[in-house]
A and B are shown apart, each in its own frame.
Chain A
Amino acid sequence: MSTETVAARPTIDGARLRAWLPKYGVYIAIVLLVLYNIFFTPYFLTWSNLRIQLIQVAPIVIVALGMALVIGTEGIDLSVGSVMALAAALIPLYLGYGVVAAVLVSLLAGVAVGLINGVLVAKVGLQPIVATLALFVGGRGLAVVISEGKLKDIRDPNLLYLGSGDLLGIPVLVWIAAALVLVIAFVVRRTVFGRRLLAIGGNRPATELAGLPVKRVLITVYVVCAVLASIAGLLSVARIQSSDASAVGLLIELSAITAVVVGGTPLTGGKVRVLGTVAGALLMQLVIATMIKHNLQPSTTEMVQAVIILIAVYVARERKTR
């Protein structure tokens, strides 16, 4: 008996640690990195630095929220960067009719892309990675055609306010991102849609057999993801004060997927960690910022990012035997 209990203890702790790490590891990493920066990075703990970091991370957070929902259904959306480009390309075209019209048109573009993705995945039955690959390639092409390949300056003060204005001392961009985080967290936790989304990711055949409107939910998920991406697209235009369809949102799908995975949402679906996703995006932003402040090459930064992704996936991996 006594030997058994002694032998059993470390495995119990191991199991507990394994359950705990994927959930809270990202927060610990952030705390450690912030502590390191406070002591070793000059001018880290200044308001202007924090401001820059938050402004930079906001579009990634917004895109990652949608990505987290899609990944929660055991899917993936590669087209988010192209949706940002489409939104960016449409803005200068319709700005003449007013900010509201321009914003609406670019959001509608998001709805359209989301519908196409959703129908391909839910009704046609394509694998999400293939279905969204089509618009990943084609979407940006279309965006470049719409913008005639030109970089266009944006001067509308209302739109620029979204990108560089302040409200109560905090950038509007950050307010918007924070509001969206709250909305998505609420949707996941409190709504019928959120529960169904998680059930579909957890066991799609079972939810189909249970009589849930699986196709409708899946299409909605892809629409929400694309709309969030178009919001990120128009905010990016507002921030950099110009629209460049060939550059906006380039490779953001990878940053978003990284944020989701590092935040502890499993790629196997059935779970969505909204706050974890935000923390994942913040962590990656902090890592990059730290590297830059210490004058390390971008190549080094990329390799460190790769290591973090591997650690996140390793920690979250499923136990083979139960």
Chain B
Amino acid sequence: MALLEVVDVSKTFPGVRALDGVSFTLKPGEVHALVGENGAGKSTLIKVLTGVYQPDGGELRYQDKPSQFGTPMDAQRAGISTIYQEVNLVPLMSVAQNLFLGREPRNRFGLIDRKRMDREARTILSDYGVSADVRRPLGTLALGAQQMVALARAVMIDAKVVIMDEPTSSLEPREVQTLFGVIRDLHARGIGIVYVSHRLDELYEICDAVTILRDGKLVHTGRLADLERIKLVSLMLGRDMAEVRREGATAFSGAATGDDQAPPVLRVRELNSRHKLHDVSFDVRPGEVVGLGGLLGAGRSETIKAVGGAYHLDSGDIEVDGKDLRKPTPVRAVRAGIAVQPEDRKAEGIVPGLSVRENIALAVLPRVSRGGLVSDAKIDAIVERFMTRLRIKASSPDQAVGDLSGGNQQKVLLARLLATDPKVLLLDEPTRGIDVGAKAEVQSLIDELAAEGLGVVLVSSDAEELVEGSDRVVVLRDGVVVGTLTGDEVTTEDLMSTIAKDTREH
């Protein structure tokens, strides 16, 4: 008997097959982990379950009957509640009002009975570990408490299925335990829970079953207790343990570069940022490629952005060439010789409406101008140099970057970074979403740049790319450095076992 079930669903967006024949079964009282890396299809599957998307093919069954949810409202009425990372309540209304929104208790005149509402809200929320004044606006509560209110509300409206999308990403450890208490309670009441998270320890603590997606396909489903951690990681990252040894899938030479004796060009010490980074430290020597390994949400992108001055740090030191970068901001970081290639190329990388030329020259305008007037000749020299070196294919330097292919957009972005003459290059998923040819070109470029003496930090969710491209791999989990792979240890097997290592069983 299944509570909520999809059979062989597919969903295609222009150019992407987001779900390809995926089946998923949630039983009553089951806590079901849904895992997969970026682009695996988790969010699409959730959106199909909650009526945001209509599947192109396949069937949705709810309580053993074929169902169709035209809108998220239909799904909610039927008893499927979703708690998103970003809490979707009304921040300016009181906690109690949020909890009872649409179902406020009335007095005998048909008006809202505030006293009763506040009283009941207090009782309900105390079960969820929320002791705040229920008359306060919801927005003044900590994010964790807000999430509890959202959860309480979801359960109150007779939910039979609760979908939680990374519910612990902004919670304190104590709050996580309260959440788990609530989940166990729901579990006992026969409510089915879909639990999306990347924290392995949590999954093994709270979940009964697991479904793993990769590239829109179902790769595994079954009892979680029967699945070893290392197996889970390898299924997520897409490498069969048997074929982990396969070499030569990337264009990296594999030759180690970097001088062991040289002083580090980048020294990162004890970066801390609430919930995200805890005492992250590592060094990068000139000519060295240091990989940052870990699952989604491990703190890789946060680390890179923090070094680039674009992520809030509570404490930590960043030194470039022995000089301390006090109070890092993007302006100071660039001036110190740090160049960051952000993960989201379109949102934070290129300026799509401007030409290839303008994009490449963007960060070096003062250098190619005199008295505030830009010199076209100087810009052309730089643009030509990098268009040739990176083999950027555009109809002309004046073509808008937004019209180029993904690979060429990425090369334009790299050209912009290199034009600033950086000492350290931080690359966050440099080959994501670009074609095979461009991928190989970018990979060999990284090798070349390291050989020229640049310090490189590489983040890639492609385990093979990370291992073959890096001389050393620093492995992060939940914002903590859990290991460093050097020399012969830089293999996908070691990477996966370090990621999967159980830290709770000591």
Question: Which residues of A are in contact with B by a Cβ distance under 8 Å?
Answer: 190-193, 195-196, 198-199, 202-203, 205-213, 270-271, 321
Contact = CB atoms under 8 A, between A and B. Distances in A.
A202 B354 CA distance: 7
B348 A199 contact: no
Given A209-B308, A209-B310, A212-B362, A202 B352 contact: yes
A321 B454 CA distance: 40
Contact of A192 (B353, B374, B420): B374
A210 B361 CA distance: 11
A209 B353 contact: no
Given A191-B372, A193-B372, A212-B362, A202 B353 contact: yes
Interface stretch (B173-181, B291-299, B363-371): B363-371
A18 to B, nearest CB: 15
B384 to A, nearest CB: 18
A194 to B, nearest CB: 8
B373 A190 contact: yes
A268 B4 CA distance: 43
Nearest to B14: A321
A192 B330 contact: no
A91 B354 CA distance: 42
Nearest to A187: B372
A190 B358 CA distance: 12
B335 A209 contact: no
Contact of A208 (B310, B350, B366, B369): B310
B373 to A, nearest CB: 5
B353 to A, nearest CB: 4
B353 A210 contact: no
Contacts of B14: 321
A206 B351 contact: yes
Contacts of B354: 198-199, 202, 270
Contacts of B334: 210-211
B340 to A, nearest CB: 6
B383 interface: no
A190 B373 CA distance: 6
Interface size class of B (residues with CB under 8 A): 20 to 34
Nearest to A266: B353
Contacts of B351: 198-199, 202-203, 206-207, 270
Contact of B330 (A190, A195, A211, A270): A211
A212 B348 CA distance: 13
Contacts of B111: none
A207 B334 CA distance: 12
A190 B368 CA distance: 12
A272 to B, nearest CB: 11
Nearest 3 CB-CB pairings of A with B: A211-B334, A202-B351, A270-B353
Given A191-B373, A192-B366, A213 B353 contact: no
A205 B348 contact: yes
Contacts of A207: 351, 362
Contacts of A199: 351, 354, 358, 362
Contacts of A190: 373-374
A190 B378 CA distance: 13
A199 B330 CA distance: 16
Contacts of A206: 342, 347-351
Contacts of A321: 14
B433 to A, nearest CB: 15
B244 interface: no
Interface core residue of A203, A211, A270 (most chain B CB under 10 Å): A211
A209 B348 contact: yes
Contacts of A213: 331
B416 A211 contact: no
Contacts of B362: 195, 199, 207, 210, 212
A271 B352 CA distance: 11
Interface core residue of A192, A193, A208 (most chain B CB under 10 Å): A192
A207 B363 CA distance: 8
Contact of A211 (B333, B348, B352, B369): B333
Contacts of A208: 310, 330
Given A191-B374, A192-B372, A212 B350 contact: no
Interface core residue of A191, A195, A210, A271 (most chain B CB under 10 Å): A210
Contacts of B349: 206, 209
A321 B219 CA distance: 32
B363 A211 contact: yes
Contacts of A271: 353
B373 A209 contact: no
Nearest to A194: B374
B131 to A, nearest CB: 32
Nearest to B366: A192
A192 B331 contact: no
